[in-house]
Amino acid sequence: MTDPLRPSDHADSTSDEVTQPRLGVVGWLRWGWRQLTSMRTALVLLLLLAIAAVPGSLVPQRTADPNGVTQYFTDNPDLAPVLDKLSLFDVYSSPWFSAIYLLLFISLIGCVLPRTKHHWKALRSQPPRTPARLSRLDDHRTRTIQVDADTDAVAAAAVESAAAQLRKSGYRVARYDSRGSFSVSAERGYLRETGNLLFHGALVGVLIAVGVGGGFTYTGQRVLVEGQAFSNSLLDYSSFNPGRFVGGDTLTPYSMTLDKFDVTYVPPGQPGSGQAGNFVAHVTTQTPGGDAQDGEVRVNHPLDVQGDRVYLLGNGYAPTVTIRDADGKEVFHDSVAFLPQDANMTSLGVIKVADGLPQQLGLLGFFYPTMDVLDSGALTSTYGALEYPTLTLRVYEGDLGIDDGTPRSVYTLDPSKMTQIAGGDSGNPAIQLMPGQTEDLPNGLGTITFENEAPPGAVGYEQSVKRFASLSIHRDLAGPWVLGFALLALFGLLAALFVPRRRMWVKATPRDGSVEIEYAGLARGEDPTLAAAVDQLADKHGATLPSQSHPDTGKVD
Amino acid sequence: MPGTDPLLLDEISLLLVWTAVAIYVLAFIAYAIDLARRSDLALKAKDQIVARELVTAGGGGVISSGSGAPASASSAKPRYLWARLGTVLTALGFVFHLVATVLRGVAAGRVPWSNMYEFALTGLLLIIAVYLVVLTRYDLRFLGSLMTGLAVLLLGGATLAFHVEVVPLADPLKSVWLVVHVFVASLATALFALAFGLSVVQLIQTRRERKLLDGPTDAETKRSFLRTVPNAEALESLAYRFAIVGFIFWTFTLIAGSIWANDAWGRFWGFDTKEVWTFVIWVLYAGYIHARATRGWRGTRSAWLSIIGFTAVLFNFTIVNVFFKGLHAYSGLTT
Ligand code: HEM
């Protein structure tokens, strides 16, 4: 009666009902529902889920590795579109993956709801009647005590004290006295089923929190060069991914300035030489009407600002370049973020001069913090820090293609409508500069200067080039909920797997001049400690009995 | 000076690792001999009991000192000398292995589990530790050759293929979660390994039991270590017990990992390759636990799931770490 409700194909289930549907729509529906909420279906769906998750680790995913997907399309031009049709680049949002986990969760809910109802009732019901023949149970002990006086009274008292003892160790107890014997029936371990239901329910919670919470979440990216500031508004992000329920006006107003970016490199000659680490972005944040506050953004240690979390995603060099026209008038002056291409910070960047010169100018630059020349004559960087910083630039003249309003990445140059005028086959050598140096642009267009940003009096190149930090700003409302449900699931699991569920009985039968006391236990499910528990019960109870008692047997099977 | 210190320590550590591997090889051999001899011993012990009972019965009241009965009871359990030697050797190898691991940690100035070589070092240390601890409660020495064999193959292989110098930690690894998440994952792996071993033996035992049921006593007289091993059902429930503890640890690993991912990468979960495999393993073991409770799946089928689950764990550690691209690029191997 108080056994937890299980799907009919549960290993412990006793119901061997015929699963043939009765005719009629309702019959079929009921049959289908029973199939969907059966253990076997849950199991098959779980295994399917495991299998379906695997391809996402074999093929690059758009969400995790968009560049990998692009690369895959270039490498496998025939195969990629086919895979794309099968959603293999978006496995975890694909129809087939979603179908599996949705079915699984429908099955889960369909399974858990009736069980919860049943369990709720079971929590209020009495432990079941004491079986007539306790000696048929595996774990059974008997002891006989010699009694001179009223055997009935002694038996009743013994059962009463056993009941008290069981109650104290967390059992639910009920007395079942009948003619000729006294007994107590005890049960514990409801927490096991509670834990199981909690676990499965919490999984639903995780899924819902992820699904709904994602709608209230936003992430925005922004690149900041040392000295630059940005304000937390849609306009100031370089990219912004809002959840479904996030409007632009929901952003908390504040501004953030990158004061300084620090990084250390393992010096040459030491193990791991050249390895970069200890990245710190020193920032100042300012809320309207509030005080300016210093903060640090480090890897593993995002900065909390007004409920947003600011993460450090990347960093690099941002050479400061000034371009003047033939008359010496400044037409461009900016620190441009160059994207690192390798561990030694060989960096690639694009400078676009849209106005002020006869034609638009595009410069494709390579920056080497510690430049060296390979045998082939090509340049390379041999160390990430600024030991011998060098900037080389190829120059293109013509139409940048930015006037027609098509969005163009600031990191790429489309030279299709431009003519190369320096570097490559253009006839002019590429421009090569170190901090503080100025060169002429080809064709008498003007000059270009690689500014030295080091403070006056600084020695060496260490501070000659500014750095940038690429920051990611998140508002995540789902996180705490997901974590909460996940922890609930974990605790539920602990209870579901380790709380023993068992029944115990103590029965006292008055005989002629003696009372026979029986102890018995029955495991419900996995319970390796049952025998020990029955022993313990018998021993502890024995100590409370009149002294002339003696155990008959250790074990009677 | 401080630059040469760690190098020296690591060299000593490496020497100890190889010593440990050598001792594990010896332990493996001892355990293997044990398995080969077991059935003989078991048969003899049985004969002995029968003989002694006959003697006692025939001798009437000769043995009345009270020492007779207990003595026969204790010698009824055959004493596996080779298994005992195997365990002693395993424990000895473990000591070397432990010191090697600690030294590696000292040399690095951090926990010794932050690249492939160190994952292997610590992970196998835990496998052997869990095995030795469990031995104090259950006689699982029939798994000894499997466990030491695993240790020899993986520890030797990892040291040959993955050993790297101590280098400073990459920034994302500088976190308390490295200590917790990776350690608990290794612990879970150790428990899964034990469950795996038991499931393998369970399958073999099931086959034997089925043969016994089917055929005449032909198989019964066949000498095999299996007759000294618990029956398939007992093996299964023991495997289950280790697997569920492992599953709890794995669940914790999953949660701790996403908290860490949120700190390091700004999202809890992104289906990065390593995350995918952690998830797959979790689901596989959830399937295993369900299978144990599903009619028609208990027994052989669920044992296969335990084996598949552990295969996925090994796959995750080796192939995924080395060959799959992803954010978890911490194998310490430069490609
Ligand atoms: C997201 C999918 C699911 C996962 C990850 C999952 C996981 C688990 C785990 C880890 C256990 C062991 C803990 C315990 O015994 O309480 C368990 C047990 C159980 N699950 Fe699920 N489950 C899922 C879906 C389902 C579904 C759909 C059903 C219903 C058909 C179901 C029915 C059960 C039952 C009856 C048990 C108890 C088994 C026993 O008696 O030992 N589960 N599940």
| Residue contact A483–B296, C-beta within 8 A | no
- What whole-number distance in Å separates Cα of residue A317 and Cα of residue A338? 6
What is the pLDDT of chain A when averaged over all its residues? Answer: 87
In terms of residues, how long is chain A?
557
Half-sphere exposure of A519 (CA within 13 A, CB side): 27
| Residue contact B165–A298, C-beta within 8 A | no
A245 close to A215: Cβ distance less than 8 angstroms: yes
Q: Does the CB of B59 have a partner CB in chain A at under 8 Å? A: no
Which uninterrupted H or E stretch holds A36?
helix A25-36
Q: Does the CB of A71 have a partner CB in chain B at under 8 Å? A: no
* B283's tokens: 């689901």
The pLDDT of residue A296 is 92
* B267's tokens: 């999202």
Which uninterrupted H or E stretch holds A539?
helix A530-543
A198 lines ligand 1 (CB under 6 A): no
Question: Cα separations (Å) of B12 from A347, B17, B100?
Answer: 41, 9, 8
- What whole-number distance in Å separates Cα of residue A472 and Cα of residue A465? 23
B132 lines ligand 1 (CB under 6 A): no
Which residue has its alpha carbon closest to ligand 1 atom 32? A39
* B69's tokens: 């009965």
* Confidence check: pLDDT of A405 > 80: no
CA-atom Rg of chain A in angstroms? 38
pLDDT in tens, A240-281: 888 878 776 778 888 999 999 998 888 887 877 888 888 899
| Residue contact B169–A277, C-beta within 8 A | yes
A491 close to A197: Cβ distance less than 8 angstroms: no
A478 close to A209: Cβ distance less than 8 angstroms: yes
Q: What number of other Cβ atoms are within 10 A of residue A129's Cβ?
A: 13
Dihedral sign, Cα of residue B194, residue B196, residue B202, residue B208: negative
Q: What is the 3-state secondary structure (H, E, C) of A503-523?
A: EEEEEEEEECCEEEEEEEEEE
Q: Which of A342-356, A519-533, B97-111, B231-245 has the lowest mean pLDDT?
A: A519-533
In terms of residues, how long is chain B?
335
| Residue contact B290–A53, C-beta within 8 A | no
The pLDDT of residue B29 is 94
| Residue contact A49–B283, C-beta within 8 A | yes
- What whole-number distance in Å separates Cα of residue A285 and Cα of residue B304? 57
pLDDT in tens, B289-300: 999 988 888 889
Nearest to A494 among B237, B248, B273 (CB): B248
Look at residue B89 and give its three-state secondary structure: helix
* Confidence check: pLDDT of A100 > 60: yes
Contacts of A487 in chain B (CB under 8 A): 255
What is the pLDDT of chain B when averaged over all its residues? Answer: 82
Look at residue A351 and give its three-state secondary structure: strand
Question: Average of pLDDT values for B9-24?
Answer: 92
* Confidence check: pLDDT of B160 > 50: yes
Residues whose CB is less than 8 angstroms from the CB of residue A208 and which lie 6 or more positions away in sequence, other chains included: none
Q: Which residues pair with A264 in a beta bridge?
A: A277
Helices A25-36 and A95-123: crossing angle in degrees, nearest 10, is 90
Q: Which of A156-165, B79-88, B212-221 has the lowest mean pLDDT?
A: B212-221
Nearest alpha-carbon partner for A50 in A7, A91, A108: A91
Question: Average of pLDDT values for A104-108?
Answer: 94
- What whole-number distance in Å separates Cα of residue A497 and Cα of residue B244? 7
pLDDT in tens, B182-205: 999 999 999 999 999 999 999 998
The pLDDT of residue B279 is 95
| Residue contact A313–B266, C-beta within 8 A | yes
- What whole-number distance in Å separates Cα of residue A140 and Cα of residue A522? 9
pLDDT band with cut points at 50, 70 and 90 for residue A528: confident
The pLDDT of residue B230 is 81
Look at residue A175 and give its three-state secondary structure: strand
Surface of B (115-174) touching A: CB under 8 A: 165-172, 174
Question: Cα separations (Å) of A516 from A131, A138, A145, A530, A549?
Answer: 16, 18, 6, 22, 10
Closest residue in B to A494 (Cα–Cα): B248
- What whole-number distance in Å separates Cα of residue A550 and Cα of residue A146? 8
Contacts of B287 in chain A (CB under 8 A): 43, 46-47, 50
DSSP A179: T
Look at residue B250 and give its three-state secondary structure: helix
CA distance, residue A10 to nearest chain B CA (Å): 5
User: Distance from CA of residue B14 to its chain's centroid?
Assistant: 22
Q: Does the CB of B284 have a partner CB in chain A at under 8 Å? A: yes
Strand-strand pairing, A502-511 and A514-523: antiparallel
* Confidence check: pLDDT of A524 > 90: no
Question: Average of pLDDT values for A329-342?
Answer: 92
| Residue contact A40–B296, C-beta within 8 A | yes
A37 close to A105: Cβ distance less than 8 angstroms: no
| Residue contact B237–A54, C-beta within 8 A | no
CA distance, residue A445 to nearest chain B CA (Å): 45
pLDDT in tens, A154-205: 888 889 999 999 999 889 999 988 878 899 999 988 899 999 999 999 999 9
| Residue contact B168–A494, C-beta within 8 A | no
DSSP string across A384-395: SSSSB-EEEEEE
DSSP A267: P
Strand-strand pairing, A446-450 and A438-440: antiparallel
Nearest alpha-carbon partner for B123 in B145, B144, B153, B143: B153
* A125's tokens: 């019901």
A102 close to A93: Cβ distance less than 8 angstroms: no
Higher pLDDT, A201 or A410: A201
Residues whose CB is less than 8 angstroms from the CB of residue A398 and which lie 6 or more positions away in sequence, other chains included: A359, A360, A362, A415, A417, A418, A419
Query: What spatial distance separates the first Cα and last Cα of chain B, rounded to whole Å?
Result: 31
- What whole-number distance in Å separates Cα of residue A495 and Cα of residue B247? 13
Atom of ligand 1 lying closest to residue A111 CA: 29
| Residue whose entry in the numeric block shows the structure tokens 């690192």 | A340
DSSP A37: T
The pLDDT of residue A130 is 87
Domain positions in chain A:
35-122, 128-189+500-551, 218-316+471-475, 320-450
Half-sphere exposure of A320 (CA within 13 A, CB side): 16
- Give the predicted TM-score (pTM) of the model: 0.85
Query: Between chain A and chain B, how many beta carbons pairs sit less than 8 Å apart?
Result: 140
Choose the residue to mutate in A192, A200, A490 for probing ligand 1, maximizing ligand atoms within 8 Å of C-beta: A200
The pLDDT of residue B154 is 92
Atom of ligand 1 lying closest to residue A10 CA: 35
Q: Where are the beta strands (DSSP E) in A147-288?
A: 172-175, 182-188, 218-225, 229-231, 239-242, 255-265, 276-286
Q: Does the CB of A64 have a partner CB in chain B at under 8 Å? A: yes
DSSP B142: G
The pLDDT of residue B61 is 31
* Confidence check: pLDDT of B330 > 50: yes
Nearest alpha-carbon partner for A29 in A21, A39, A18: A21
A101 lines ligand 1 (CB under 6 A): no
Q: Which of A362-371, A425-434, B316-325 has the lowest mean pLDDT?
A: B316-325
- What whole-number distance in Å separates Cα of residue B264 and Cα of residue A519? 57
Which residue has its alpha carbon closest to ligand 1 atom 4? B286
B291: left (phi over 0), alpha (psi -120 to 50) or beta: alpha
State the Cα angle at A190 between A186 and A193, rounded to 5°: 145
Q: Which of A238-242, B12-16, B220-224 has the lowest mean pLDDT?
A: B220-224
- What whole-number distance in Å separates Cα of residue B103 and Cα of residue A179? 73
> Which residue in A299, A481, A499 has the most chain B C-beta atoms within 10 A of its own C-beta, making it the best mutation to test that interface?
A299
Nearest to A497 among B248, B265, B324 (CB): B248
> Which residue in B280, B300, B306 has the most chain A C-beta atoms within 10 A of its own C-beta, making it the best mutation to test that interface?
B280
User: Distance from CA of residue B133 to its chain's centroid?
Assistant: 11
* B234's tokens: 């007992």
pLDDT band with cut points at 50, 70 and 90 for residue A103: very high
- What whole-number distance in Å separates Cα of residue A357 and Cα of residue A326? 9
Q: Interface pTM (ipTM) of the complex?
A: 0.85
Q: Does the CB of A79 have a partner CB in chain B at under 8 Å? A: no
When the candidates are 3.30.160.110, 2.40.30.10, 3.40.50.620, 1.10.3720.10, the CATH number that belongs to A128-189+500-551 is 3.30.160.110
Atom of ligand 1 lying closest to residue A196 CA: 16
The pLDDT of residue A556 is 37
